[in-house]
């Protein structure tokens, strides 16, 4: 490494998706400022959606490049790993924007425009995280996402819960960032670089010297990431933040923010620590054990806590904890050496996509119910079948997918992960995964029970705003299609993606 | 004649057409909904009659095979050893076929679903949803008996779970929601164990290589044929020790095979149900609507026995042999436990539930015998018990409609007012206790005959169950039909035509099976012969 390469004007083309979001965010901010007070802010939502779609189109154009593009001396990487995750983020934010259009007033958000344009920098942060090849870039992206999220959680200004949720989230988020930074400082101290790609080589050379410090940095980083993905025992902020936040923002935290956390966790853990260690210092097996234990803890704690919830947002928060556990399973598995099992990324991203649709769908239905009943309690779903039969059917599909029953995306996603786990012969993790899934039937079917077996005599027919309804049906349709034809998605990902070239940064 | 038609798919998915048809009938057209739904169940019934007559009895192979790839997932090939191969993937097929074991169960499913649809005239609310779920359930059940791929089997098995949950939970009696939950959790756990066993099988015995055009590919398959081939061929990866082949991750040690058999036993044992896992089914029997119980007791329980035969015994014959004695003990426990508790019950539905446990024990005994007579007996018993228990719950539904109770001490003397129904009840009871000339006799006889050859002691103890059966069945039937009758029941109407038709049909089949068992024995015989030729060579050691 001799001289820092400069960013050329031509390189900006590689940043088109990110720049589109920046420009949209600026335009929307100014528009929101200058538009007269009484103008309908829905137009902002549609504009924002247009920006997201254009950005996604740019990302799609970058897919399947011959060689990963690296900017600013490896600190920013545009490879298929990053692009696929960016598509997940943008789809998520797009759906969330769609469901926010015309519904924010009732959610208790007085200035809907703010929420709409704050979603964009948050997504930008997530995209930077997915693309980062350097700890500094990574941290900047992370903070961009986090700080905008803190603001968005507190956006229901008249609600005490919203303030409480935002405060808890900000404090705990700050602590987790500090832990993460601390871990990063150890890495920097040991390797003398912040570049993720160069670290593992240096670590390998100095195994003897840094023995314990490598473990310290691994666990600190891992704990910091675990907070972002809300895996037990680092999940305590999630239920409060979700409950306080406006529903679209809860969905954002549950899907986009969590996916961004996974993006960096997966990349950093693999690029830095995979292959580091020897017989005397078995970091390999220890890392596997740590990730697997965390996955098991998240699955057990998330599903067990969800059993007792009566509030739908808290229930979805705990279900999100459990899902973080399922998503950690493929990440753990690769640390087990099996001569034939290398499809972890397909397993991970497929379940992430399925999770995206079923979770946003669940939150969108929650918004419909909330609009009718005025609260987020489970009892609001009572008799939904009589009041909005099609919404009840859509919710049933989504819930079945969350529970992992065929034929849905959630089912195939779990099956694929489970199959990988058994190929890696990690039987105990597979057993925990499937038993906790069955336990989850209990609370997921509680929703179905409310919708179909209870009656609500006060309720009349429920009217759904069109964009919200469209969001619900996109999610439902995607969930079913992912279950019926999973090959299309997995085959495409497998055809463009390479673990060595797109995922691990090594120099 | 049928060879050119995808007859199995037609049977399996024709109920779904009914579902779509029902979608377009307005909710308040009760009459039309019922008529359409019953017509929709007649389609697969007629098709399966056709299938039954067309079935070739002279071969033991799978017939009417339909196969096409469904899920074909490429797997990452970046590892050193995998690059040289053309492709590496896992594949699940949509693959349906029937042999002599599944054919009778397919017919049974079609028949009992139609009968249940007729019996559902007593359903009081939300007919449209009820029938749609019933038809969806029927598709799932057909699929279970036809699927030839582990994944497909599992999907159909799970598909039955959801409609059943709704059917119990919405249309049942007082404690229906609890029953639905119990059903869901128990069966969910059973399915979970099954899924793990299946996936272990796919990731070891399902692993194969294929040559196409000079290039080799590796794949995992869920196809039963592929898995059976790998399990039984001595030079497959599955049977190559890791010491002989670098780190072979596909090796199934004898211990692992033993564990897989045990897992399958638990998975299907929940459904069957085997003794300690039976509590959920008591709840379902008492709380669900009788027409739902007809399907539950008549078919769903058989799925457990079928799975145990198809995957447990046929894929792991050697392990089944090791397990034969425990299986026989479990069977005897089921028989005696069910019979003794049936005798103590004061609620008619519980008598029937415990009698189901007792009768399913006989299926277990037949399987444990691991010989042709026993296996034939087991399949006979599955069909026969399916018919009998469906008939009994049909009667329960009709009686409850008139008396509003199923408590034995409040029933009595009904033979005076409803002689026809009591007559049918007596026939059903006689069939249940195994009276010669009715279907129960021949199946119990075969199952015990099979077991006497190998485990005379277990068979002798188990046979006591037949005596107990006479006691508890007669006790219940007598109590209902004779004795003093409460005054206000005197004007009660006997069975209407729509109730009588399914009763007569079921009695006819029970009689047919009793006096002319070859109707079932013929398709069954070749299949079981062939299977046992294979099994005995494989069980060898």
CA atoms within 13 A on the CB side of B272: 33
- How many C-alpha atoms does A73 have within 13 Å on its Cβ side? 12
Residue B165 CA to residue B255 CA, distance in Å, equals 36
CA atoms within a 13 Å half-sphere pointing along the CA-CB vector of A110: 6
Select from B88, B158, B199 the Cβ nearest to the Cβ of A406.
B158
- What's the CA gap between B1 and B130, in Å, rounded? 36
Residue B16, chain A, CB below 8 Å: the answer is: no
Tell me chain B's radius of gyration from C-alpha atoms. Answer: 24
Residue A451 — φ and ψ, nearest 5°? Answer: -70, -40
Is A445 within 8 Å of B181 when comparing Cβ atoms? yes
Assign A231 to helix, strand or coil.
coil
**Contact (Cβ atoms closer than 8 angstroms) between residue A256 and residue A130:** no
Chain A residue with minimal CA distance to B218?
A340
Inter-chain touch A452–B76, beta carbons under 8 Å: no
What local confidence, expressed as pLDDT, does residue B502 receive? 92
Instruction: Give φ, ψ of B335 to 5 degrees.
Output: -60, -50
Do B203 and A423 count as a contact with CB atoms less than 8 A apart? Answer: yes
Question: In terms of C-beta density within 10 A (0-12 exposed, 13-18 middle, 19 or more buried), how is residue B344 classed?
Answer: exposed
Is pLDDT above 50 for B424?
Answer: yes
To test the contact with chain A by mutation, choose from B16, B73, B78 the residue with the greatest count of A C-beta atoms within 10 A, namely B73
In this structure, chain A runs to a length of 507
A440, closest residue in chain B (CA to CA): B185
Instruction: Specify the residue for token string 């002798």.
Output: B460
Cβ count near B538 (within 10 Å): 17
When CB atoms are compared, the residue of A339, A405, A438 closest to B189 is: A438
In whole angstroms, give the CA distance from residue B300 to residue B393.
14
Q: What is the pLDDT of residue B149?
A: 93
Contact B188 A438 (CB under 8 A): yes
Count of CB atoms situated within 10 Å of the CB of B246: 9
The pLDDT-based confidence of B541 (bands split at 50, 70, 90) is: very low
B162 contacts in chain A (CB < 8 Å) = 400, 405
Q: Which residues contact A463 (CB under 8 A, 6 or more apart)?
A: none
CB B449 within 8 A of CB B524: no
Judged by CB atoms closer than 8 Å, whether chains meet at A406 and B159 is answered as: yes
b/e map A282-293, b = 16+ CB within 10 Å: ebbebbbebbbe
- Considering only the beta carbons, identify the residue of A448, A486, A498 that sits closest to B73: A486
Residue with tokens 């001490």: B409
How far is residue A201's CA from residue A506's CA, in Å, rounded to a whole number? 8
Tell me the two tokens of residue A93.
Answer: 């934010």
Would the CB atoms of A423 and B192 count as touching at under 8 Å?
Answer: no
Q: How far does chain B reach from its first CA to its final CA, in angstroms?
A: 43
Q: Quick: pLDDT tens for B50-83.
A: 999 988 888 888 888 898 888 888 888 887 777 7
Mapped onto helix, strand or coil, the DSSP state of residue A209 is helix
Q: Comparing C-alpha atoms, which of B493, B503, B479, B400 is closest to residue B173? A: B400
Q: How far is B200 from chain A (nearest CA, A)?
A: 6
Distance CA A353, CA A366 (A): 20
* Contact across the interface for B184 and A445, Cβ inside 8 Å: yes
B82 with A340: Cβ contact below 8 A:
yes
pLDDT > 80? residue B2: no
Residue A381: CB partners within 8 Å, gap ≥ 6?
A: A312, A369, A395, A447, A450, A451
Q: What confidence tier does B13 reach under pLDDT thresholds 50, 70, 90? A: very high
For chain B, the average pLDDT equals 89
Residues paired with B71 in a beta bridge: B92
Contact B159, A406 (CB under 8 A): yes
A-chain residues near B154 (CB < 8 A): 406
Q: Do B82 and A498 touch (CB under 8 A)?
A: no
∠ CA B349-B353-B356 to the nearest 5 degrees? 140
Task: Check if the beta carbon of residue A276 is closer than 8 Å to that of residue A204.
Answer: yes
- A88's CB contacts (< 8 A; 6+ apart) are A256, A259, A349, A352, A353, A356
Question: How far is the C-alpha of B379 from the C-alpha of B313, rounded, in Å?
Answer: 13
Residue of A299, A330, A343 to mutate, interface with B, max B Cβ within 10 Å: A343
Q: Which helix (H) or strand (E) holds A8?
A: none
Write the CB contacts of A16 (distance below 8 Å, at least 6 apart in sequence): A55, A58
Closest residue to B169, CB basis, from A427, A435, A453: A453
Assign A414 to helix, strand or coil: helix
Instruction: Phi first, then psi: give them for residue A78, nearest 5 degrees.
Output: -115, 95
Q: Characterize the bridge pairing of strands B63-74 and A69-71.
A: unpaired
List pLDDT tens digits, range B192-240: 999 999 999 998 888 888 887 778 888 888 899 889 888 888 878 888 7
Q: Does B155 touch chain A (CB under 8 A)?
A: yes
Closest-CA residue to A495 (of B236, B363, B70, B74): B74
Half-sphere exposure of A320 (CA within 13 A, CB side): 36
Task: Test B181 with A435 for CB contact under 8 angstroms.
Answer: no
Say whether residue B130 is in contact with chain A using an 8 A CB cutoff: no
Rg (CA), chain A: 22
Nearest CA in chain A to B191: A438
Closest-CA residue to B194 (of B274, B261, B102): B261
For B487, other C-beta atoms within 10 Å of its C-beta total: 7
Residue holding tokens 């539950």? B296
Q: How far is A485 from chain B (nearest CA, A)?
A: 7
In terms of C-beta density within 10 A (0-12 exposed, 13-18 middle, 19 or more buried), how is residue A180 classed? Answer: buried
Per the CB < 8 A criterion, the answer to whether A193 and A274 are in contact is no
- How deeply is B539 buried, as exposed, middle or buried, from its count of CB atoms within 10 A (0-12, 13-18, 19+)? middle
Q: Residue window 160-179, chain B: list those with CB within 8 Å of chain A.
A: 161-162, 165-166, 169-170, 177
Taking only the tens place, the pLDDT of each residue in B102-143 is: 999 999 999 999 999 998 888 878 888 899 999 999 999 999
Joined together, the tokens standing for residue B449 give 């005959």
Q: Is B4 buried (19+), middle (13-18) or exposed (0-12) by CB count in 10 A?
A: exposed
Of B520, B197, B232, nearest to B376 by C-alpha is B520
**CB-based contact A491 B74, cutoff 8 Å:** yes
Instruction: Walk along chain A (507 residues) and give the pLDDT tens digit of each residue.
Output: 445 667 787 888 889 999 999 999 999 999 988 988 777 788 899 999 999 999 999 999 988 777 888 888 888 989 999 999 999 999 999 999 999 998 888 888 888 888 999 999 999 999 999 999 999 999 999 999 999 999 999 988 888 889 999 999 999 999 999 999 999 999 999 999 998 888 888 888 888 888 888 899 999 999 999 999 999 888 999 999 999 999 999 999 999 999 999 999 999 988 888 878 777 778 878 888 899 999 999 999 999 999 999 999 999 999 999 999 999 999 988 766 666 778 888 999 999 999 999 999 999 999 999 988 888 898 889 888 888 889 999 999 999 999 999 889 999 999 999 999 988 888 899 999 999 999 999 999 999 988 988 877 666 788 888 999 999 999 999 999 999 999 889 999 988 888 888 887 776
User: Which residue matches tokens 């956390």?
Assistant: A261
Comparing CA positions, the residue from B395, B468, B467, B459 lying closest to residue B427 is B395
CB of B256 within 8 Å of a chain A CB? The answer is no
CB contact under 8 Å between A419 and B181, yes or no, is no
Chain B residues touching A427 at Cβ < 8 A: 196, 200
**CB–CB of A342 and B79 under 8 A?**
yes
CA B188 vs CA A449, B162, B268, B280: distances in Å: 17, 10, 11, 12
**Mean per-residue pLDDT, B343-363:** 92
Which positions in chain A touch B79 (Cβ < 8 Å)?
339-340, 342
Please tell me the predicted confidence (pLDDT) of residue A166.
93
Q: Contact B78/A418, CB-based, under 8 Å? A: no
Question: Please, which pLDDT band fits residue B1 given cuts at 50, 70 and 90?
Answer: low
Report the alpha-carbon distance of residue A305 to residue A319 in Å, rounded: 9
Task: Give the A:B interface size as CB pairs under 8 Å.
Answer: 110
Task: Note whether B96 and B9 are within 8 A (CB).
Answer: yes
CA proximity to A119, closest of A206, A194, A188, A55: A55
Report the C-alpha gap between B467 and A238 in whole angstroms: 62
Inspect the interface and report whether the beta carbons of A405 and B162 lie closer than 8 Å. yes
Which residues of A lie inside 8 Å of B (Cβ-Cβ)?
Answer: 338-340, 342-346, 400, 405-407, 411-412, 415-416, 418-419, 422-423, 425, 427, 430-431, 434-435, 437-438, 441-442, 445, 448-449, 452-453, 486-487, 490-491, 494-495, 498-500
Q: Encoding tokens for residue A91?
A: 């789809």
Dihedral over Cα of B340, B345, B348, B353: its sign: negative
Q: Does B255 touch chain A (CB under 8 A)?
A: no
Find how far residue A260's CA is from the centre of its chain: 5
- What pLDDT shows up at residue A495? 87
Instruction: Check B76 against A431: CB less than 8 A apart.
Output: no
CA B362 to chain centre: 14
- ipTM metric: 0.91
3-state helix, strand, coil in chain B (%, to 5): 75, 10, 20
Q: What is the pLDDT of residue A1?
A: 46
| Interchain contact, A494 vs B189, CB within 8 Å | no
- The pLDDT score that the predictor gives to residue B147 is 93
Residues of B in Cβ contact (< 8 Å) with A442? 181, 184-185
Residues in chain B: 541
CB contact under 8 A, A430 and B78: no
**Which of A339, A412, A495 has the CB atom closest to B81's CB atom?**
A339
| Cβ atoms A349, A493 nearer than 8 A | yes
**Cis? peptide before A202, omega within 30° of 0:** no
Nearest residue, CB atoms, A434 vs list B165, B196, B247: B196
Predicted confidence at residue A339, as pLDDT, reads 67
The pLDDT of residue B540 is 53
Q: Directed axis angle between helix A207-229 and helix A283-306, to 10°?
A: 20
A483 chain-B contacts, CB cut-off 8 A: none
Query: Residue A195 has what DSSP assignment?
Result: B
pLDDT reading at B539 higher than 80: no
């Amino acid at each position: 490494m001799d001289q820092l390469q400069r960013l050329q004007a031509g390189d900006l083309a590689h940043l088109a998706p990110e720049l589109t979001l920046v420009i949209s965010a600026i335009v929307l901010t100014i528009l929101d400022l200058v538009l007269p007070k009484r103008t309908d802010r829905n137009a902002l939502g549609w504009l924002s959606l247009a920006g997201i779609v254009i950005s996604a189109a740019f990302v799609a154009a970058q897919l399947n490049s011959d060689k990963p593009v690296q900017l600013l001396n490896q600190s920013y990487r545009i490879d298929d790993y990053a692009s696929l995750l960016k598509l997940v983020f943008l789809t998520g934010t797009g759906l969330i924007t769609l469901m926010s259009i015309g519904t924010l007033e009732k959610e208790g958000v007085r200035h809907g425009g703010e929420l709409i344009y704050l979603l964009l920098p948050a997504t930008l942060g997530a995209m930077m995280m997915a693309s980062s090849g350097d700890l500094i870039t990574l941290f900047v992206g992370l903070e961009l996402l986090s700080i905008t999220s803190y603001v968005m959680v507190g956006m229901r200004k008249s609600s005490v819960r919203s303030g409480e949720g935002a405060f808890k989230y900000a404090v705990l988020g700050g602590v987790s960032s500090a832990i993460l930074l601390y871990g990063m400082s150890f890495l920097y101290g040991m390797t003398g670089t912040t570049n993720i790609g160069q670290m593992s080589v240096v670590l390998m050379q100095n195994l003897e010297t840094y023995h314990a410090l490598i473990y310290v940095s691994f666990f600190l980083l891992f704990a910091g990431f675990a907070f972002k993905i809300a895996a037990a025992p680092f999940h305590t902020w999630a239920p409060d933040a979700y409950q306080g936040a406006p529903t679209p923002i809860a969905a954002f935290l549950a899907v986009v923010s969590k996916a961004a956390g996974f993006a960096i966790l997966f990349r950093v853990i693999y690029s830095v620590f995979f292959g580091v260690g020897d017989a005397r210092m078995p970091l390999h097996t220890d890392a596997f054990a740590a990730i697997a234990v965390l996955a098991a803890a998240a699955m057990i704690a998330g599903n067990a806590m969800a059993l007792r919830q009566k509030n739908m947002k808290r229930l979805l928060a705990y279900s999100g904890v459990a899902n973080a556990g399922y998503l950690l399973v493929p990440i753990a598995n690769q640390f087990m050496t099996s001569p034939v099992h290398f499809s972890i990324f397909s397993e991970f991203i497929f379940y992430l996509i399925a999770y995206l649709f079923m979770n946003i769908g669940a939150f969108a239905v929650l918004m419909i119910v909330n609009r009718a009943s005025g609260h987020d309690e489970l009892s609001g779903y009572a008799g939904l079948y009589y009041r909005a039969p099609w919404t009840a059917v859509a919710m049933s599909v989504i819930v079945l997918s969350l529970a992992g029953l065929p034929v849905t995306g959630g089912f195939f996603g779990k099956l694929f992960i489970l199959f990988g786990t058994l190929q890696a012969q990690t039987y105990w993790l597979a057993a925990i995964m499937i038993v906790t899934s069955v336990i989850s039937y209990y609370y997921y079917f509680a929703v179905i029970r409310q919708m179909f077996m209870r009656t609500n005599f006060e309720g009349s027919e429920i009217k759904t705003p069109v964009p919200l309804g469209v969001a619900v049906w996109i999610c439902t349709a995607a969930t079913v299609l992912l279950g019926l034809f999973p090959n299309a998605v997995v085959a495409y990902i497998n055809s463009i993606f390479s673990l060595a070239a797109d995922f691990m940064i090594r120099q | 004649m049928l060879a050119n038609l995808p007859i199995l798919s037609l049977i399996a998915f024709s109920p779904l057409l009914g579902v779509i048809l029902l979608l377009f009938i307005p909710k308040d057209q009760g009459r039309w909904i019922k008529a359409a739904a019953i017509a929709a169940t007649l389609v697969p019934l007629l098709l399966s009659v056709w299938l039954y007559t067309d079935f070739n009895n002279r071969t033991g192979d799978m017939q009417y095979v339909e196969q096409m790839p469904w899920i074909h997932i490429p797997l990452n090939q970046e590892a050193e050893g995998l690059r040289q191969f053309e492709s590496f993937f896992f594949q699940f097929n949509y693959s349906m076929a029937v042999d002599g074991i599944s054919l009778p169960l397919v017919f049974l499913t079609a028949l009992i679903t139609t009968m249940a649809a007729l019996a559902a005239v007593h359903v009081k609310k939300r007919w449209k949803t009820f029938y749609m779920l019933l038809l969806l359930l029927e598709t799932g059940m057909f699929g279970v008996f036809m699927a030839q791929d582990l994944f497909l089997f599992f999907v159909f098995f799970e598909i039955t779970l959801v409609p059943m949950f709704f059917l119990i939970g919405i249309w049942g009696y007082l404690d229906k929601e609890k029953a639905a939950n119990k059903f869901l959790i128990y069966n969910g756990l059973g399915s979970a164990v099954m899924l793990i066993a299946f996936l272990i099988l796919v990731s070891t015995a399902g692993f194969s290589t294929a040559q196409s055009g000079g290039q080799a590919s590796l794949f995992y398959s869920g196809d039963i044929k592929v898995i059976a081939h790998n399990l039984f061929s001595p030079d497959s990866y599955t049977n190559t020790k890791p010491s002989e082949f670098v780190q072979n991750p596909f090796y199934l040690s004898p211990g692992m095979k033993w564990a897989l058999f045990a897992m399958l036993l638990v998975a299907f044992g929940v459904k069957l149900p085997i003794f300690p896992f039976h509590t959920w089914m008591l709840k379902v029997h008492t709380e669900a609507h009788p027409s739902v119980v007809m399907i539950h007791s008549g078919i769903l329980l058989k799925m457990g026995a079928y799975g145990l035969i198809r995957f447990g015994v046929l894929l792991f014959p050697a392990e089944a042999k090791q397990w034969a004695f425990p299986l026989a003990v479990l069977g005897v426990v089921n028989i005696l436990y069910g019979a003794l508790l049936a005798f103590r019950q004061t609620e008619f539905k519980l008598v029937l539930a415990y009698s189901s446990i007792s009768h399913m024990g006989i299926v277990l005994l037949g399987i444990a015998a691991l010989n042709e007579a026993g296996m034939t007996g087991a399949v006979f018993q599955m069909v026969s018990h399916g018919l009998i228990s469906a008939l009994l719950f049909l009667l329960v539904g009709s009686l409850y409609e008139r008396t509003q109770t199923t408590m034995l001490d409040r029933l009595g003397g009904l033979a005076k007012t409803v002689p026809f129904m009591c007559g049918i009840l007596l026939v059903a009871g006689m069939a249940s206790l195994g009276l010669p000339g009715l279907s129960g006799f021949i199946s119990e006889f075969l199952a015990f005959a099979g077991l006497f050859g190998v485990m005379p002691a277990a068979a002798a103890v188990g046979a006591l169950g037949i005596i107990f059966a006479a006691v508890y069945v007669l006790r219940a039937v007598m109590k209902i039909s004779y004795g003093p009758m409460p005054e206000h029941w005197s004007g009660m109407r006997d069975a209407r035509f729509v109730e009588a038709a399914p009763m007569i049909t079921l009695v006819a089949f029970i009689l047919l099976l009793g006096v002319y068992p070859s109707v079932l024995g013929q398709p069954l015989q070749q299949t079981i012969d062939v299977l046992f030729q294979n099994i005995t060579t494989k069980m060898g050691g």
